[in-house]
Structure 1
Amino acid sequence: MWGVVATALAVLAQLTVVPGPDMAVVTREGLSGGRSSALRATFGVVAGLMVWGALTVVGLGAVLAASAEAYTVVKVVGGLYLVYLGVTTLWQSRTRKESAGTKPVSVHLQGSSWRAGFLTNLLNPKIAVFYTGLLPQLVPPGWPTAPTLAALVLVHGLLGIVWLGAYSLLLTRARATLGKPSIRRILDRITGTVLFGFGAVVVAEAR
């Protein structure tokens, strides 16, 4: 039984640390707004996971995963949102002015970092597929399904906070160097291209 628990934790940890749109968004927000923005994006990402987790526990996630039309709609909208984030990041890299200091100028409105992280995961139907397809298989035999699923979702969220939170701190510790205009433009272009690429692939898969 405890072997199954260890396997579940290992799977959740692997899913957490694999780079994806959520890390790209945290990078984007951290470079633009600093540590607070990166952490807000992190909590937004986890909030999106919690929504999918709650839907999975009550059974609604399986409905979406089983509906080709609904899945496609969410997939297209999510892909277009990532494309939008990528394009705006690339545009900011083109219009960024050289400055004498090294501190980046935040282009964020209050709450936009959290919202970017939240929508990135909320509009990611692959999370629903993972939660409804794989997560139930991680429930140890004999354990109550709904409470155990809820616990696994909470563990996944905590792992996300620890991983992305640590990444945010490391990222913003190097902000004085990364915030130099020439380096910042390069990082913006890399991040924007990654976000655009993720979004384009998602939209292409939905066709």
Structure 2
Amino acid sequence: MQAYLSLIAITGALAASTVSPGPSFIVVARNAMSLSRRHGLTTALGMGSGAFIFSVLALLGLHTLFSAVPTAFWVLKILGGAYLLFLAAKILRSARQPMQVEELNKTSAISLRRAYGFGLLTQLSNPKRAIVFAGVFSALLPQDIPSYFFAVIPLVTFCINAGWYSIVALILSAEKPCAAYLRCKTVVDRTAGGVMGLLGLKLILSSK
């Protein structure tokens, strides 16, 4: 039961961090609006693949670390909670700031393969994503990691990222929904920031 609760908590935390608008959102929106809906969806798959890779690396690294140094589990829990609090504060501070989206003009078409690669590289080049994975996993993974987690968590991570950015691509390929979504940025940021802040506090308090 504890493992299932951990999996649910990880899924919720990753979902909260994924839906908060940032560089990945801009990339998917740009391709969806300036190229085509198919390009946006392909870029979303690249984002999901990058998140999949991050989750595998984080799982393998943490598993090795926990086995070699058991006290590292407690230390990483504190650090993970502290980072989530920092991330929550940053998200909440920027909630009222309008997203800086440059004017998206129609551009010459690129291949779907390049659109996928662009999404993948954008995700992998964002160090904040790696830190989020490390923080969430170190805080919420059970100390004895079930073997099936190494298959389920990367798959869930891919589905969350690819699924969310696919929705973004489908919606923002039309001009009016794009404007409506950007107007909701404050609500989205406050929700994501609140979830991250509560999670960070819970992790720090539970480590004592």
- TM-score grouping bracket, smaller chain normalisation: 0.5 to 0.7
Question: How far 1:88 sits from its partner (Å)?
Answer: 0.7
Cα–Cα, structure 1 residues 92 and 194, in superposed 2: closer, same or farther, change >3 Å?
same
After TM superposition, the score normalised by the length of structure 1 is 0.61
Preserved contact between residue 89 and residue 193 of structure 2 (Cα < 8 Å): yes
Give the total of aligned pairs: 165
Cα–Cα, structure 1 residues 166 and 16, in superposed 2: closer, same or farther, change >3 Å?
farther
Cα–Cα, structure 1 residues 195 and 44, in superposed 2: closer, same or farther, change >3 Å?
farther
Q: Which one of 98, 105, 124 corresponds to residue 100 of structure 2? A: 105
Report whether the alignment pairs 1:116 with 2:157. no
Question: How far 1:206 sits from its partner (Å)?
Answer: 1.5
Question: How far 1:118 sits from its partner (Å)?
Answer: 1.5
Preserved contact between residue 44 and residue 116 of structure 1 (Cα < 8 Å): no
Question: How far 1:113 sits from its partner (Å)?
Answer: 7.6
For residues 106-147 of structure 1, the C-alpha deviation after alignment (integer angstroms, 9 at most, x for no partner) is 5xxx779832221112133246536x4322xx5xxxxxxxxx
Preserved contact between residue 95 and residue 189 of structure 2 (Cα < 8 Å): yes
State the identity as a percent.
15
Q: What's the counterpart of residue 50 of structure 1?
A: 56
After TM superposition, the score normalised by the length of structure 2 is 0.61
Q: What's the counterpart of residue 178 of structure 1?
A: 181
Q: Output aligned runs, 1:12-161, within 5 Å.
A: 15=7, 19-29=11-21, 33-34=25-26, 36=28, 42-43=48-49, 45-55=51-61, 59-64=64-69, 67=70, 69-94=71-96, 96-97=97-98, 104-105=99-100, 114-123=126-135, 124-126=137-139, 128-129=141-142, 132-135=144-147, 138=148, 153-154=150-151, 156-161=153-158
Question: How far 1:194 sits from its partner (Å)?
Answer: 1.0
Unaligned runs of 5+ in 1: 1-10, 98-103, 139-151
* Paired AA for residue 63 in structure 1: A
Cα–Cα, structure 1 residues 60 and 44, in superposed 2: closer, same or farther, change >3 Å?
same
SS in 1 for 2:20: helix
SS in 2 for 1:93: coil
Regions of 4+ moved over 6 Å: 110-113
SS in 2 for 1:203: helix
For residues 130-185 of structure 1, the C-alpha deviation after alignment (integer angstroms, 9 at most, x for no partner) is 6x4322xx5xxxxxxxxxxxxx73564244213321122214544512211xx211
Distance 2:154 2:169 in 1: 22
Distance 2:157 2:165 in 1: 12
RMSD between aligned alpha carbons? Answer: 3.7
